[in-house]
Amino acid sequence: MIDYDSFYIGGDWRTPATATRIEVRSAATEELVGSVPEGAERDVDDAVAAARRAFDDPQGWARWDPARRAEVLERFAQALESRAAETARRVTVQNGMPITLSRNFEGGFPPVLLRYFAGMVSENPQEESRPGMLGGTSLVIREPIGVVAAIVPWNVPQAITFLKLAPALAAGCTVVLKPAPETVLDAFLTAEAAREAGLPEGVLNVVAGGRELGAYLVAHPGVDKVSFTGSTGAGRAIAETCGRLLRPVTLELGGKSAAIVLDDADLASTIESFFAATLLNNGQICWLGTRVLAPQARYQEVVDTISDLARSLAIGDPLAESTQVGPLVSARQRDRVEGYIAKGKAEGARITVGGGRPDGLDHGWFVQPTVFADVDNKYTIAQEEIFGPVLSVIPYTDEDQAVAIANDSDYGLGGSVWTRDGERGEAVARRVASGTIGINAYANDPTAPFGGIKASGIGRELGPEGLHGYQQLKTIYLDPPS
Ligand code: NAD
C-alpha cells in the first residue's frame, strides 16, 4: 500500500483541507493499492497562491537566468531517474500499461524532456533585437506566461505531465499540477523528486482531485494559462471557461486516426510498428490509428494479417515482461469499451477476433484485442473514440477515397501510412487532415510539434512550439524615431 497524507504545495508537504481521500485500485487485480488526500477548493487556493508568489517574486524563478533554471531541472531529471523504476511500476499497477512500455514512456521520457527544454532555453536566446522600418529597433522578448494549471489524464500520466512541466518550468513558469484520480501515486513520486532536486518553493505544486476540482483550478483567478490533456468533452468545457476569461489554453484532446494501408504495403514486415501505431498501451492512447483503411484489392489479406496480430498478442499481468496487452484502467473504461463492441456488432460490423473478455483472467479490467471487419466509416465505432484495444478495418477503392475516409472524422490528431514507397507515403500523408502522421511507424519525437486539429485540440506540445505555449511576447521599441 502506498499512502500519502499531504500535498506538495509551496515546496513542502502540507496537511490537506479535508479528510476526504482518493483510493487507487490495481487495474489487473482490482485490489486497493494506495490512497492520497482528495483536494478541496482551499487546497487549490493554497497551491495557486504558492505558485503565484513564486512567479511574482522579483528575484524568483521567472527572473532567473535560464542556465540557472536548467541546473535545477537537471537535478530534477536526476531525481526522476533515480525513481524511474518505481514510477514505471506505479503507473503499470494503476492503469495497466505493460511494464516494458511504462519503463520507456513513464520512467524514461520525463528526464529526456526536462533536459531537452532546459537545453533549449539555456542555449538559445529568448529575445531578439529587430531592426525596424521606421528607424528604431524593437526588442522582442519571450517572457514566461505565468502560473500554469496543468491537468492531465490517466492513460500516459508521466509522459503527458512532462510534456507540460518541462517546457513550462524551463520557460520560467510556475505550475499547479492536477493528475487524474486514477493515477495519482506516480504524481506524488514526481513531487518527491521535485523536493529532492531543490525546486524553489512554489515552482511546482501538486493537488489531487477529480473534474470539479479541475474546473475550479481552470477558472481560478490566480491562473494565467491552462494546459489540458484529456477528453474532447472536458476540453470543450475548459475552452468555454478560458474563452470567457480570455485565458490562454492548450488542449490535447481525443482522436480517431486512420492507419492507411496502401496497395503496395508490406504489413507483415512492419507488424511491430503497426502494433505500436494502432494498439499500444491497450489501445489507450489518443493518437492511435484505430481506423485501418485497407485497399479493396487486398482487403481480406489485410483483415487476416491484423486479426492474426491481435490473436497473437500476449494478454495478462501488465507487470510481466512478456505482456503486450494489459487491462484497461477501470471498470468504467472496460464497460465503455464493451459498450462500443456491442454497438459495432449491432451496426453490422463483423468481429474477426476478440470481442469479449480473455479466458482465465477473472480479476482485472481486461478486454480482448478486437478486430472489426466490414466497417463503414459512418458507424459509431469508426466515428467515436473507443480508447481500448479495438480496431475497425474499413475498405477503400483508391487513394482518393482513402484520403476522403481518413478526413471524414471530427478528429485530426495522429495517423499513419503504410507503403513500400516513401515518396508515395509522404504524398498521401500531406493530404490527411491531421496534426501529426507517420510513414510505416508512428512515434512522437521530442523535437517536432505534437497536437491536433478539429476536435483533437488547439495548440502544440514538444519542439520549440511546445515552449512557445508557455511564453508570451513582449515588444520594447528602442530608439523610436521622433
Ligand atoms: P477526462 O477528460 O475525463 O479527464 C482528464 C483530466 O481532466 C483528469 O485529470 C480529470 O480529472 C480532468 N477533468 C475532467 N473534466 C474536467 C473539467 N471539466 N475541467 C477541468 N478538469 C477536468 O479524460 P480521461 O478519461 O481521463 O482521459 C481519456 C481522454 O484523454 C481520451 O479522450 C483521450 O483521447 C484523451 N487524451 C488525449 C491526449 C492528447 O494528447 N491529445 C493524450 C492522452 C489522452
CATH of the domain at 121: 3.40.605.10
Ligand 1 midpoint to CA 413 (Å): 15
CATH of the domain at 310: 3.40.309.10
Pairing of the two strands 2-3 and 32-37: parallel
User: Domain total for the chain?
Assistant: 2
- Examine residue 59 and state whether it is found in any structural domain, yes or no: yes
Nearest protein CA to atom 37 of ligand 1, as residue: 253
**Mutation test residue for ligand 1: of 24, 38, 154, 155, the one with most atoms within 8 Å of CB:** 155
In the predicted model, what is the mean pLDDT of residues 372-399? 98
In the sheet with 2-3, reading across from the earlier edge strand, the strands are: 2-3, 32-37, 21-25
Inside any domain, residue 48: yes
Statement to judge: residues 248 and 266 lie in one domain: no
Query: What would the pLDDT profile of 401-434 be if each residue is shown by its tens digit?
Result: 999 999 999 999 999 999 999 999 999 999 999 9
> Do 168 and 312 reside in the same domain of the chain?
no
- The confidence score (pLDDT) of residue 84 equals 98
143 CA to centre of ligand 1 in angstroms: 28
Same domain assignment for residues 292 and 352 = yes
Tell me: the pLDDT tens digits for 163-204?
999 999 999 999 999 999 999 999 999 999 999 999 999 999
Task: Give, using CA atoms, the residue closest to atom 13 of ligand 1.
Answer: 211
Nearest to 335 by CA among 365, 307, 359, 363: 365
- Mean per-residue pLDDT, 28-49: 98
Q: Rounded to the nearest whole angstrom, what is the distance from the C-alpha of residue 477 to the centroid of ligand 1?
A: 42
**Which residues on neighbouring strands pair with residue 395, listed in sequence order?**
294
Q: Which atom of ligand 1 is nearest to the CA of 180?
A: 9
The Å distance, Cα 217 to ligand 1 centre, comes to 14
Does 418 reside within a domain?
A: yes
CA distance 446 to 395: 34
Check whether residue 265 and residue 146 sit in a common domain: no
Reported as type and span, the H/E element at residue 127 is: strand 127-131
State the residue range of the domain holding 203.
2-253+455-477
Residues 276 and 168 in one domain: no
249 and 266 in a single domain? The answer is no
Cell match 466509416: residue?
A: 377
Ligand 1 atom with the smallest distance to the CA of 218 is 20
In the chain, the percentage of residues whose pLDDT exceeds 90 is 99
Lowest-confidence segment of 126-135, 160-169, 221-230, 287-296 by average pLDDT? 126-135
Asked whether residue 42 falls in the same domain as residue 152, the answer is yes
Average pLDDT (361-366) is: 96
Judgement on whether residues 388 and 349 belong to the same structural domain of the protein: yes
47 and 95 assigned to the same domain: yes
Residue carrying C-alpha cell 479466458: 359
Same domain as 290, residue 246: no
For residue 480, pLDDT beyond 90? no
Q: Is the pTM of this model over 0.95?
A: yes
Do 225 and 308 reside in the same domain of the chain?
A: no
pLDDT tens by residue, 213-243: 999 999 999 999 999 999 999 999 999 999 9
Please give the pLDDT value at position 479: 81
CB within 6 Å of ligand 1 — which residues?
151-155, 160, 178, 180, 210-211, 214-215, 218, 229-231, 234, 237-238, 252-255, 286, 385, 387, 413, 452, 456-457
Between strands 438-439 and 416-418, the pairing is parallel
In a domain, 104, yes or no: yes
Atom of ligand 1 nearest to the CA of 252: 41
| Mutate which of 286, 287, 450 for ligand 1 pocket (most atoms within 8 A of beta carbon) | 286
The residues annotated with a catalytic role in the active site are 252, 286
- Does residue 34 lie within any of the structural domains? yes
Q: Name residue 325's beta-bridge partners.
A: 315
- H helices of 315-469, in order, are 331-347, 380-383, 399-407, 422-431, 463-468
Is there a domain that residue 482 lies in? no
Compute the distance from residue 231 Cα to the ligand 1 centre, in Å.
4
Q: What is the pLDDT of residues 75-120, one digit of tens each?
A: 999 999 999 999 999 999 999 999 999 999 999 999 999 999 999 9
Q: Is 423 a member of any domain? A: yes
Q: Where are the beta strands (DSSP E) in 195-354?
A: 204-206, 225-229, 249-252, 258-261, 291-295, 350-353
Confirm whether 211 is domain-assigned.
yes
| Whether residue 197 sits in one domain with residue 269 | no
**For range 67-71, the mean pLDDT:** 98
Instruction: Find residue 148's DSSP bridge partners.
Output: 175, 225
Q: Name the residue among 117, 97, 21, 138 with its Cα closest to residue 281.
A: 97
pLDDT tens digits, residue range 327-338? Answer: 999 999 999 999
Backbone angles phi, psi at 331, to 5 degrees: -60, -40
- Please check whether residue 153 is in contact with residue 101, taking contact to mean a CB–CB distance below 8 angstroms: no
**Centre of ligand 1 from the C-alpha of residue 239, in Å:** 13
What are 464's three cell numbers?
520549440
